[in-house]
Amino acid sequence: MNSEFNYQGKRYFLAVFCGTFICWSIGGVLSFNHQWEDYYILPMLLGLMMPAILASGFIWRQPGSGMKQDFVNRLVSLRRIQPKAFFLTLATMPLSVITAIFLSLMFGGSAEQFHFSEHFSFSTGFVPVLGLLFLAAVFEELGWRGYGFESLEKGRSFLKASIVFGVIWSLWHLPLLWVNHSYQYEIYRQSAWYAVNFYISTAVLGVIVSWVCHINQRSILAAILFHLVVNLSQEMLSMTQQTKCIQTIVLVGFTLVIVGHQWPVFANLNTQVNSKRLNRRVLT
Protein backbone atom coordinates (compact mmCIF):
# COMPACT_ATOMS: atom_id res chain seq x y z
CA MET A 1 0.00 0.00 0.00
CA ASN A 2 1.17 3.51 -0.81
CA SER A 3 0.34 5.78 2.13
CA GLU A 4 0.13 8.78 -0.20
CA PHE A 5 -3.01 7.44 -1.87
CA ASN A 6 -6.49 8.10 -0.51
CA TYR A 7 -8.31 4.77 -0.33
CA GLN A 8 -12.03 4.58 0.41
CA GLY A 9 -12.24 0.96 1.46
CA LYS A 10 -15.66 0.98 3.15
CA ARG A 11 -17.34 2.63 0.19
CA TYR A 12 -15.57 0.32 -2.24
CA PHE A 13 -16.51 -2.95 -0.55
CA LEU A 14 -20.07 -1.78 0.11
CA ALA A 15 -20.47 -0.88 -3.57
CA VAL A 16 -18.95 -4.20 -4.69
CA PHE A 17 -21.20 -6.23 -2.39
CA CYS A 18 -24.34 -4.35 -3.41
CA GLY A 19 -23.56 -4.51 -7.12
CA THR A 20 -22.55 -8.16 -7.07
CA PHE A 21 -25.46 -9.27 -4.87
CA ILE A 22 -27.97 -7.55 -7.15
CA CYS A 23 -26.48 -9.06 -10.32
CA TRP A 24 -26.10 -12.55 -8.88
CA SER A 25 -29.57 -12.48 -7.33
CA ILE A 26 -31.02 -11.64 -10.75
CA GLY A 27 -28.91 -14.44 -12.23
CA GLY A 28 -30.20 -16.79 -9.55
CA VAL A 29 -33.82 -16.04 -10.41
CA LEU A 30 -33.16 -16.50 -14.13
CA SER A 31 -31.27 -19.76 -13.52
CA PHE A 32 -34.43 -21.39 -12.13
CA ASN A 33 -36.69 -20.04 -14.88
CA HIS A 34 -36.78 -22.38 -17.87
CA GLN A 35 -37.68 -19.52 -20.20
CA TRP A 36 -34.63 -17.45 -19.23
CA GLU A 37 -32.10 -19.98 -17.94
CA ASP A 38 -30.00 -19.71 -21.11
CA TYR A 39 -29.28 -16.07 -20.23
CA TYR A 40 -28.69 -16.27 -16.49
CA ILE A 41 -24.93 -16.19 -17.05
CA LEU A 42 -25.09 -12.59 -18.34
CA PRO A 43 -25.89 -10.94 -14.97
CA MET A 44 -23.56 -13.48 -13.36
CA LEU A 45 -20.67 -12.21 -15.51
CA LEU A 46 -21.53 -8.61 -14.68
CA GLY A 47 -21.45 -9.45 -10.96
CA LEU A 48 -18.11 -11.18 -11.42
CA MET A 49 -16.71 -8.08 -13.08
CA MET A 50 -17.97 -5.76 -10.32
CA PRO A 51 -14.73 -5.73 -8.22
CA ALA A 52 -12.69 -4.68 -11.29
CA ILE A 53 -15.24 -2.19 -12.63
CA LEU A 54 -15.60 -0.37 -9.33
CA ALA A 55 -11.86 -0.48 -8.60
CA SER A 56 -11.24 1.21 -11.95
CA GLY A 57 -13.76 3.89 -11.06
CA PHE A 58 -12.28 4.56 -7.63
CA ILE A 59 -8.75 4.66 -9.02
CA TRP A 60 -9.49 6.95 -11.96
CA ARG A 61 -11.36 9.39 -9.73
CA GLN A 62 -8.20 9.96 -7.72
CA PRO A 63 -6.57 13.38 -8.28
CA GLY A 64 -3.25 13.17 -10.07
CA SER A 65 -1.83 10.18 -11.90
CA GLY A 66 0.02 8.44 -9.08
CA MET A 67 -2.52 5.73 -8.25
CA LYS A 68 -3.28 5.13 -11.93
CA GLN A 69 0.40 4.64 -12.76
CA ASP A 70 0.87 2.42 -9.72
CA PHE A 71 -2.07 0.23 -10.79
CA VAL A 72 -0.86 -0.16 -14.37
CA ASN A 73 2.71 -0.88 -13.26
CA ARG A 74 1.60 -3.56 -10.81
CA LEU A 75 -0.54 -5.13 -13.52
CA VAL A 76 1.91 -5.30 -16.42
CA SER A 77 5.41 -5.20 -14.91
CA LEU A 78 7.13 -8.59 -15.00
CA ARG A 79 10.05 -7.21 -13.00
CA ARG A 80 7.93 -7.25 -9.86
CA ILE A 81 7.54 -11.03 -10.02
CA GLN A 82 10.33 -12.90 -8.22
CA PRO A 83 10.70 -16.04 -10.40
CA LYS A 84 12.05 -18.53 -7.86
CA ALA A 85 9.66 -17.51 -5.09
CA PHE A 86 6.70 -17.28 -7.48
CA PHE A 87 7.12 -20.71 -9.04
CA LEU A 88 7.52 -22.23 -5.59
CA THR A 89 4.26 -20.67 -4.47
CA LEU A 90 2.46 -21.90 -7.60
CA ALA A 91 3.03 -25.43 -6.30
CA THR A 92 1.06 -24.69 -3.13
CA MET A 93 -2.39 -25.56 -4.47
CA PRO A 94 -1.45 -28.67 -6.51
CA LEU A 95 0.53 -29.88 -3.49
CA SER A 96 -2.47 -29.34 -1.19
CA VAL A 97 -4.63 -31.39 -3.57
CA ILE A 98 -2.17 -34.30 -3.75
CA THR A 99 -1.60 -34.23 0.02
CA ALA A 100 -5.34 -34.21 0.74
CA ILE A 101 -5.97 -37.17 -1.57
CA PHE A 102 -3.15 -39.16 0.03
CA LEU A 103 -4.57 -38.42 3.49
CA SER A 104 -8.06 -39.39 2.37
CA LEU A 105 -6.80 -42.88 1.52
CA MET A 106 -6.24 -43.41 5.25
CA PHE A 107 -9.97 -42.84 5.80
CA GLY A 108 -11.23 -45.07 3.01
CA GLY A 109 -10.94 -42.61 0.14
CA SER A 110 -10.55 -43.95 -3.38
CA ALA A 111 -7.26 -43.86 -5.28
CA GLU A 112 -9.35 -42.99 -8.36
CA GLN A 113 -9.27 -39.41 -7.09
CA PHE A 114 -5.84 -39.19 -8.68
CA HIS A 115 -7.47 -39.58 -12.10
CA PHE A 116 -8.01 -36.47 -14.17
CA SER A 117 -11.57 -35.23 -13.89
CA GLU A 118 -13.72 -36.07 -16.91
CA HIS A 119 -15.99 -33.06 -16.44
CA PHE A 120 -16.26 -29.86 -14.44
CA SER A 121 -18.12 -29.83 -11.12
CA PHE A 122 -20.51 -27.09 -12.30
CA SER A 123 -21.90 -25.56 -15.49
CA THR A 124 -21.96 -21.99 -16.79
CA GLY A 125 -24.51 -21.82 -19.58
CA PHE A 126 -23.07 -20.87 -22.96
CA VAL A 127 -19.77 -19.66 -21.44
CA PRO A 128 -17.09 -22.41 -21.30
CA VAL A 129 -16.25 -23.31 -17.70
CA LEU A 130 -12.53 -22.99 -18.42
CA GLY A 131 -13.12 -19.49 -19.76
CA LEU A 132 -15.09 -18.54 -16.65
CA LEU A 133 -12.29 -19.79 -14.38
CA PHE A 134 -9.89 -17.52 -16.26
CA LEU A 135 -12.23 -14.53 -16.16
CA ALA A 136 -12.81 -15.02 -12.43
CA ALA A 137 -9.08 -14.86 -11.75
CA VAL A 138 -8.64 -11.74 -13.89
CA PHE A 139 -11.65 -9.65 -12.83
CA GLU A 140 -11.45 -10.54 -9.15
CA GLU A 141 -7.76 -9.79 -8.73
CA LEU A 142 -7.96 -6.58 -10.77
CA GLY A 143 -10.36 -5.36 -8.13
CA TRP A 144 -9.10 -7.07 -4.98
CA ARG A 145 -5.39 -6.38 -5.54
CA GLY A 146 -5.80 -3.25 -7.60
CA TYR A 147 -7.75 -1.43 -4.90
CA GLY A 148 -9.62 -3.53 -2.32
CA PHE A 149 -6.79 -5.13 -0.38
CA GLU A 150 -4.71 -1.97 -0.58
CA SER A 151 -7.50 -0.12 1.22
CA LEU A 152 -7.54 -2.67 4.05
CA GLU A 153 -3.85 -2.27 4.91
CA LYS A 154 -4.11 1.26 6.32
CA GLY A 155 -3.59 1.07 10.08
CA ARG A 156 -3.53 -2.74 10.09
CA SER A 157 -0.78 -5.32 10.21
CA PHE A 158 -0.40 -7.36 7.03
CA LEU A 159 -1.75 -10.42 8.90
CA LYS A 160 -4.88 -8.63 10.06
CA ALA A 161 -5.49 -7.13 6.61
CA SER A 162 -5.09 -10.59 5.04
CA ILE A 163 -7.54 -12.20 7.47
CA VAL A 164 -10.08 -9.41 7.04
CA PHE A 165 -9.80 -9.74 3.27
CA GLY A 166 -10.17 -13.52 3.45
CA VAL A 167 -13.45 -13.18 5.38
CA ILE A 168 -14.74 -10.48 3.01
CA TRP A 169 -13.80 -12.54 -0.05
CA SER A 170 -15.53 -15.59 1.36
CA LEU A 171 -18.75 -13.68 2.16
CA TRP A 172 -18.71 -12.13 -1.32
CA HIS A 173 -19.46 -15.61 -2.72
CA LEU A 174 -22.62 -16.08 -0.60
CA PRO A 175 -25.19 -15.25 -3.34
CA LEU A 176 -23.90 -18.18 -5.40
CA LEU A 177 -25.69 -20.48 -2.97
CA TRP A 178 -28.99 -19.64 -4.66
CA VAL A 179 -27.81 -19.77 -8.27
CA ASN A 180 -28.78 -22.98 -10.08
CA HIS A 181 -25.84 -24.88 -11.63
CA SER A 182 -23.24 -22.93 -9.65
CA TYR A 183 -20.55 -24.86 -7.79
CA GLN A 184 -21.75 -23.53 -4.44
CA TYR A 185 -25.35 -24.51 -5.14
CA GLU A 186 -24.35 -28.00 -6.29
CA ILE A 187 -22.28 -28.80 -3.20
CA TYR A 188 -24.93 -27.30 -0.89
CA ARG A 189 -27.44 -29.74 -2.37
CA GLN A 190 -25.09 -32.57 -1.38
CA SER A 191 -24.52 -31.27 2.15
CA ALA A 192 -24.62 -27.91 3.91
CA TRP A 193 -21.29 -28.86 5.52
CA TYR A 194 -19.62 -29.00 2.11
CA ALA A 195 -20.75 -25.43 1.50
CA VAL A 196 -19.43 -24.40 4.92
CA ASN A 197 -16.10 -26.00 4.00
CA PHE A 198 -15.98 -24.00 0.75
CA TYR A 199 -16.41 -20.71 2.59
CA ILE A 200 -13.80 -21.59 5.21
CA SER A 201 -11.29 -22.66 2.57
CA THR A 202 -11.94 -19.46 0.60
CA ALA A 203 -11.15 -17.35 3.67
CA VAL A 204 -7.90 -19.28 4.19
CA LEU A 205 -6.96 -18.89 0.54
CA GLY A 206 -7.53 -15.16 0.90
CA VAL A 207 -4.56 -15.02 3.25
CA ILE A 208 -2.38 -17.10 0.91
CA VAL A 209 -3.19 -15.06 -2.22
CA SER A 210 -2.47 -11.84 -0.31
CA TRP A 211 0.92 -13.23 0.67
CA VAL A 212 1.73 -14.30 -2.90
CA CYS A 213 0.89 -10.83 -4.18
CA HIS A 214 2.92 -9.18 -1.44
CA ILE A 215 6.14 -11.16 -1.87
CA ASN A 216 6.03 -10.32 -5.58
CA GLN A 217 6.13 -6.59 -4.82
CA ARG A 218 2.32 -6.23 -4.91
CA SER A 219 2.11 -7.63 -8.44
CA ILE A 220 -1.49 -7.91 -9.61
CA LEU A 221 -0.33 -10.17 -12.43
CA ALA A 222 1.19 -12.60 -9.92
CA ALA A 223 -2.11 -12.70 -8.02
CA ILE A 224 -4.06 -13.35 -11.23
CA LEU A 225 -1.80 -16.25 -12.25
CA PHE A 226 -1.88 -17.77 -8.77
CA HIS A 227 -5.67 -17.42 -8.61
CA LEU A 228 -5.96 -19.20 -11.97
CA VAL A 229 -3.80 -22.07 -10.69
CA VAL A 230 -6.07 -22.28 -7.62
CA ASN A 231 -9.16 -22.57 -9.84
CA LEU A 232 -7.60 -25.18 -12.13
CA SER A 233 -6.22 -27.23 -9.24
CA GLN A 234 -9.68 -27.59 -7.74
CA GLU A 235 -11.09 -28.99 -10.97
CA MET A 236 -8.17 -30.98 -12.37
CA LEU A 237 -8.44 -34.21 -10.37
CA SER A 238 -11.46 -36.23 -9.26
CA MET A 239 -11.43 -35.06 -5.65
CA THR A 240 -14.48 -35.85 -3.56
CA GLN A 241 -16.05 -33.26 -1.30
CA GLN A 242 -14.85 -35.23 1.72
CA THR A 243 -11.30 -34.89 0.45
CA LYS A 244 -11.82 -31.16 -0.12
CA CYS A 245 -12.64 -30.89 3.58
CA ILE A 246 -9.28 -32.52 4.31
CA GLN A 247 -7.67 -30.12 1.85
CA THR A 248 -8.96 -27.18 3.87
CA ILE A 249 -7.14 -28.53 6.93
CA VAL A 250 -4.00 -28.92 4.81
CA LEU A 251 -4.32 -25.30 3.61
CA VAL A 252 -4.70 -24.10 7.20
CA GLY A 253 -1.48 -25.96 8.00
CA PHE A 254 0.30 -24.38 5.02
CA THR A 255 -0.90 -20.94 6.09
CA LEU A 256 0.32 -21.40 9.67
CA VAL A 257 3.74 -22.45 8.36
CA ILE A 258 3.91 -19.43 6.04
CA VAL A 259 2.87 -16.99 8.77
CA GLY A 260 5.21 -18.55 11.32
CA HIS A 261 8.15 -18.54 8.91
CA GLN A 262 7.58 -14.91 7.92
CA TRP A 263 6.12 -13.50 11.11
CA PRO A 264 8.01 -10.15 10.86
CA VAL A 265 6.32 -9.58 7.50
CA PHE A 266 2.80 -10.43 8.70
CA ALA A 267 3.17 -8.49 11.96
CA ASN A 268 4.56 -5.39 10.27
CA LEU A 269 2.24 -2.37 10.12
CA ASN A 270 4.34 -0.90 7.31
CA THR A 271 3.86 -3.36 4.46
CA GLN A 272 6.38 -1.59 2.25
CA VAL A 273 8.99 -4.20 3.19
CA ASN A 274 12.28 -4.19 1.33
CA SER A 275 11.67 -6.72 -1.45
CA LYS A 276 15.19 -8.18 -1.42
CA ARG A 277 15.12 -8.81 2.32
CA LEU A 278 11.65 -10.31 2.04
CA ASN A 279 12.54 -12.64 -0.79
CA ARG A 280 15.59 -13.92 1.09
CA ARG A 281 13.21 -14.96 3.86
CA VAL A 282 10.84 -16.60 1.36
CA LEU A 283 13.58 -18.72 -0.12
CA THR A 284 15.42 -19.73 3.05
* 188, part of any domain: yes
* 3, part of any domain: no
- Which residues of the chain, if any, have pLDDT below 50? 271-284
* 229, part of any domain: yes
pLDDT at res. 192: 97
* 118, part of any domain: yes
* 149, part of any domain: yes
Active site residues: 140, 173
Segments forming the whole domain that contains residue 157: 9-283
Rounded Cα–Cα distance for residues 284 and 275 (Å): 14
Contacts of residue 259, defined as CB under 8 A and 6 or more positions apart, other chains included, come to 159, 207, 266
pLDDT at res. 2: 61
pLDDT in tens, 45-88: 999 999 999 999 999 988 888 899 999 999 999 999 999 989 99
**Domains in the chain: how many in total?**
1
Tell me how many degrees the CA angle 130-55-11 measures, rounded to the nearest 5. Answer: 125
Q: Is 116 helix (H, G, I), strand (E, B) or coil?
A: strand
Neighbour-count burial for 57-70, b at 16+ CB within 10 Å, e otherwise = ebbeebeeeebeeb
pLDDT at res. 265: 87
* 233, part of any domain: yes
pLDDT at res. 3: 62
pLDDT at res. 220: 97
* 2, part of any domain: no
Which residues on neighbouring strands pair with residue 29, listed in sequence order? none
* 45, part of any domain: yes
pTM score: 0.91
Contacts of residue 210, defined as CB under 8 A and 6 or more positions apart, other chains included, come to 149, 158, 161, 162, 165, 166
DSSP annotation of 237 = B
Check: CB of residue 238 under 8 Å from CB of residue 115: yes
pLDDT at res. 275: 42
pLDDT at res. 183: 94
